[in-house]
Structure 1
């Protein structure tokens, strides 16, 4: 049955039975040997880079290739590229740990291993480099560049020695038929984005649904592979990567209705396979779906405007790049890998246009890519500004706002305002009435403009020149939102008002206040890391982490961290409250539902668990 399935000659019953068997075997591996082998593996690598200095367990190297081979070989709808990148990252991490390297060097080896994996898989060394930098590290600076390039070139060289041959996809020599065709390619890129966002959303919510039922990994993967097998009964082409059908589509050999059926079948089959946790990536499925979607779009456009448009195969090619870019938020990687897979550079302009637009619309609809979506739901944000935003998410405006502010009356004259600005060296003052209710904001530029217009300095008042439409924030609003609002509006300050009484002025928050709050939080983070290191030294590095969710009747509920009498030496490294990640300090009060991450010596773990599981009434007795 397996051999027949791989040759495409299996009977319908065999397709379903083989898929179910594959789900059982893969689930067994994930449940008993390597839970990290589930899914594409890239989110796990990103979490490792963000939280653990790139350190990953050796079992990934052992079990990931086997689990992926079984998933793809037994009818799963997924790709090998994500798992290969994860496998390469695991190899790099293992080498770095074996050589006792620093966190930064281990991270470099993780990225290098991922680059080598992509390069060897597709014979695409340039795309391998940018995949590692753009997706894994999300850092295009030159710090990691040299090592990543060397690893990717080595992977590509080995691939060409072992598997010599032509380009991965064989594409006819397409070229832009007319400049009037560019709007159609732009529309293709825009339309790819909602499809990609829907895929990300449905995949992760299917995964959450299965986990909410408390099913074992074996049950989840069996259900997912079984549903994929059911789709495969009518559309056997959706099994595996499906690159042979992509090749046909690029040549314009798949008609409109078949392209739509194959694209939809692959869309849902991949959701079931990857969402259930079977071992496989989304790179190849996105190329397949993008190709079919682009081909269907191209058929319609070419039939309607044959004189100024390319054949459907050209739209299939551009659709591949646009779809993967929208899912991964990696436009550079998407463009480069299509160039390297096809060797076709004649459609460069449509490719770049559609890819940039699909990425922009996708990021507008959902700021998280497929690889970061689940991490963001856990409160972990990765990327160039990830550390800044993560810290600011744990802070509220009330912790940074300045409350000792000078407020002026609406009857203050221009002359008095000029003197006040000269004396106070401020750029703006809030205008309030007799009850302290906010009326508006008057800036020094408003006063200067009124004087330049020749207005009477004694008769003209603040009420005449103030700006009434004021951008505000609230004391309980996350600080990162206030920072974004400042940047978006190009403002120097935000007025802080009561959320229930919008005219009640509480304070002001400026860019420098946010910077100071960030610096203080960063200092607390460094101090916590130092305490963890001291804890490791005191216990010969036999340290474990524990995540504890505080119930409403916990002994911790309602207490400040500094008031808790811990039974053993431990460090609370962070608190997750909803989507906020809080860097704790002594004044932080524990609330019901908070997730506390605690570092403790392994020999003290049971004592700490017993303390955390005790209830308030137990403590009183």
Structure 2
């Protein structure tokens, strides 16, 4: 006979196994759901995307730099950064031909492949962040990156860092659009792409994170700080994996800086501010000259390339990014006359290159201009005061930071880039003094930096601070009243009187049969006719309507609405489709504008402080 206890034990064994299996399945399911909830949190998602964006952006920046070197080798037989040494050995016709034909190709590519019909860079990133919630066209951005690469490759006197920033932003925007991220997340990821590109370009992770906050975001948002730093670090890791962890420039040894030298740094900052101002004004002056030529826009880079080649016949140092000549100035390998000659030639070359439509940035050229200015200034100062401890290389470094900061309008991140590029922090106070001084001088004269000037030339005024940008980001369509009371132009005055007395706003909108705004009638404008019919006669709404009232378009921003309300003294404006048909769409009220602005401002502050 079988043992009952054994049967009982064997009978319960499958139940225990089933319960254990069910428990394991339940645990697995809970872990999966827990992981999903964890990944759905904005912080976690942004952290993962920032890491991925930083690594890919670092890889793209490396590819961008190598692409430039490939074109230098192809067109100028130049193996490294010192492009001018190879150019000096070339026949004169090649020095003229390469930038001229290259400019022609660049112009045609811009005309045929870019919707904006102009080279794209950091200004477009700022515009996208401020006005388009971080959305940028992906494939157009990649085409712009190639055009920028080719521009530098054929010798245009422009920088590679601005295009790299644009490329990193395009990547980040592409990821956010692919994943359909909400606008706050998309904007933060855009800043991550910018930070990664800057850090990979300069081997400067700290400066990369601060550049994104100072130039693109416009403030150091607490919620964005962690993912931006993560992207910046990962971009640097990718760059260092390829190039190694070496400073871009090695500064010659110098003594401990005495506080007696600080006035010389301030004076250099003043000179750098004037130099940056002249450079910026010259770029846009060259742009006007190019636009005045009786030639199509796609031919402008070819004309600029020819002029660039003529300058390079005497001063090959002006071609390309210019880091080779900058390194020579830092090492004290250039005489005073050559420093001054290259300073003048480089500024002219940058004005022509950017003014005539080549693609590229402004940072590297401003570093080189600052190096020439600082090097020449150092030689002069040392001839007057031989005991100065900074040395010629020290003043060269200070000049680099001062001109670049004034040009970009980014004193904090520029100073950090200088420190991280050289690994030399002994000149910290000198660089900061010069940077602050030069930025103040340029702001006093122009009032803007290079990027906001570019946007202003395109009709996009982003000046005015963060609160103003909130107003500009909101559109009339977001706050307008779509069903206001209207009357026809042939409405008798007696009915107008009744309608306007019942109106809550004391204002009527006269709309024609085709939907076009005919005019407005205010209670105050009726005067005595508002309460008596003695003057009615055969008068209609058309006879007393104000034919040219202040109005706004549906696509206008709230800042323009507030400006028109202030100028006209009216709190209720008509909204039309456009200024051709004047099709009446509705009204916008001052109170609704302020309410929408306050809500958007509070939302942005909550986003900034992670509330």
Question: What range is the shorter-chain TM-score in?
Answer: 0.5 to 0.7
Secondary structure at 1:227's aligned position in 2? helix
Picking from 556, 559, 562, the partner of 1:574 is 556
How far the C-alpha of 1:96 sits from its partner, in A, is 1.0
Cα 1:157–1:388 change in 2 (3 A) is same
How far the C-alpha of 1:143 sits from its partner, in A, is 3.0
Moved more, 11-20 or 52-61: 52-61
Matched, 1:270 2:350: yes
Equivalent residues of 2:476, 2:554 under 8 A apart:
no
Distance (whole Å) between structure 1 residues aligned to residue 455 and residue 435 of structure 2: 24
Equivalent residues of 1:54, 1:106 under 8 A apart:
yes
Equivalent residues of 2:452, 2:463 under 8 A apart:
no
Distance (whole Å) between structure 1 residues aligned to residue 352 and residue 454 of structure 2: 16
Distance (whole Å) between structure 1 residues aligned to residue 481 and residue 137 of structure 2: 21
Equivalent residues of 2:268, 2:399 under 8 A apart:
yes
How far the C-alpha of 1:582 sits from its partner, in A, is 4.4
Distance (whole Å) between structure 1 residues aligned to residue 130 and residue 358 of structure 2: 24
Distance (whole Å) between structure 2 residues aligned to residue 280 and residue 561 of structure 1: 54
TM-score by length of 2: 0.66
Moved more, 48-57 or 170-179: 170-179
How far the C-alpha of 1:216 sits from its partner, in A, is 3.0
Matched, 1:233 2:313: yes
Q: Find the structure with the greater CA-based Rg.
A: 2
Distance (whole Å) between structure 2 residues aligned to residue 164 and residue 339 of structure 1: 18
Q: CA RMSD in A?
A: 3.4
Equivalent residues of 1:561, 1:585 under 8 A apart:
no
Quote the residue 1:319 is aligned against: 399
Equivalent residues of 2:251, 2:331 under 8 A apart:
yes
Secondary structure at 2:556's aligned position in 1? strand
Secondary structure at 1:187's aligned position in 2? helix
How far the C-alpha of 1:586 sits from its partner, in A, is 9.4
Equivalent residues of 1:573, 1:597 under 8 A apart:
no
Cα 1:363–1:381 change in 2 (3 A) is same
Where structure 2 has 5 or more consecutive residues not aligned to the other structure, the ranges are 1-73, 484-514, 523-544, 569-573, 584-611
Greater fraction helix: 2
Quote the residue 1:507 is aligned against: none
How far the C-alpha of 1:387 sits from its partner, in A, is 3.8
Cα 1:37–1:96 change in 2 (3 A) is farther
Equivalent residues of 1:22, 1:222 under 8 A apart:
yes
Q: Residues 52-67 of structure 1 correspond to what in structure 2 (within 5 A)? A: 52-67=132-147
Equivalent residues of 1:380, 1:390 under 8 A apart:
no
Quote the residue 1:529 is aligned against: 478
Equivalent residues of 1:60, 1:87 under 8 A apart:
no
How far the C-alpha of 1:533 sits from its partner, in A, is 12
Distance (whole Å) between structure 1 residues aligned to residue 304 and residue 352 of structure 2: 5
Moved more, 226-235 or 283-292: 226-235
How far the C-alpha of 1:310 sits from its partner, in A, is 2.8
Quote the residue 1:77 is aligned against: 157
Picking from 228, 232, 251, the partner of 1:152 is 232
How far the C-alpha of 1:35 sits from its partner, in A, is 4.6
Distance (whole Å) between structure 1 residues aligned to residue 450 and residue 185 of structure 2: 26
Distance (whole Å) between structure 1 residues aligned to residue 369 and residue 120 of structure 2: 17
Picking from 67, 70, 76, the partner of 1:3 is 76
Cα 1:587–1:141 change in 2 (3 A) is closer
Cα 1:364–1:132 change in 2 (3 A) is same
Deviations 1:194-236 (A, max 9, x none): 1111111121232233235574332121122222121111111
Cα 1:151–1:587 change in 2 (3 A) is closer
Moved more, 377-386 or 65-74: 377-386
Where structure 1 has 5 or more consecutive residues not aligned to the other structure, the ranges are 395-521, 535-554, 590-595, 600-607, 614-621
Matched, 1:108 2:90: no
TM-score by length of 1: 0.65
- Structure with more contact order per residue of length (Cα contacts < 8 Å, sep ≥ 6): 2
Picking from 74, 78, 91, the partner of 2:171 is 91
Quote the residue 1:163 is aligned against: 243
Count of aligned positions: 441
Cα 1:192–1:598 change in 2 (3 A) is farther
Quote the residue 1:368 is aligned against: 448
Distance (whole Å) between structure 2 residues aligned to residue 561 and residue 93 of structure 1: 48
Equivalent residues of 1:560, 1:586 under 8 A apart:
no
Equivalent residues of 2:476, 2:555 under 8 A apart:
no
Cα 1:388–1:166 change in 2 (3 A) is closer
Quote the residue 1:22 is aligned against: 102
Equivalent residues of 2:476, 2:553 under 8 A apart:
no
Distance (whole Å) between structure 2 residues aligned to residue 610 and residue 182 of structure 1: 60
How far the C-alpha of 1:564 sits from its partner, in A, is 12
Deviations 1:258-300 (A, max 9, x none): 0011111111101111112211001000000000000001100
Equivalent residues of 1:55, 1:97 under 8 A apart:
yes
Cα 1:100–1:65 change in 2 (3 A) is same
Equivalent residues of 2:517, 2:582 under 8 A apart:
no
Equivalent residues of 1:24, 1:222 under 8 A apart:
yes
Matched, 1:143 2:223: yes
How far the C-alpha of 1:190 sits from its partner, in A, is 1.2
Equivalent residues of 2:113, 2:140 under 8 A apart:
no
Equivalent residues of 2:218, 2:466 under 8 A apart:
no
Equivalent residues of 1:82, 1:282 under 8 A apart:
yes
Equivalent residues of 1:82, 1:281 under 8 A apart:
yes
Distance (whole Å) between structure 2 residues aligned to residue 586 and residue 347 of structure 1: 52
Quote the residue 2:55 is aligned against: none
Quote the residue 1:501 is aligned against: none
Matched, 1:305 2:385: yes
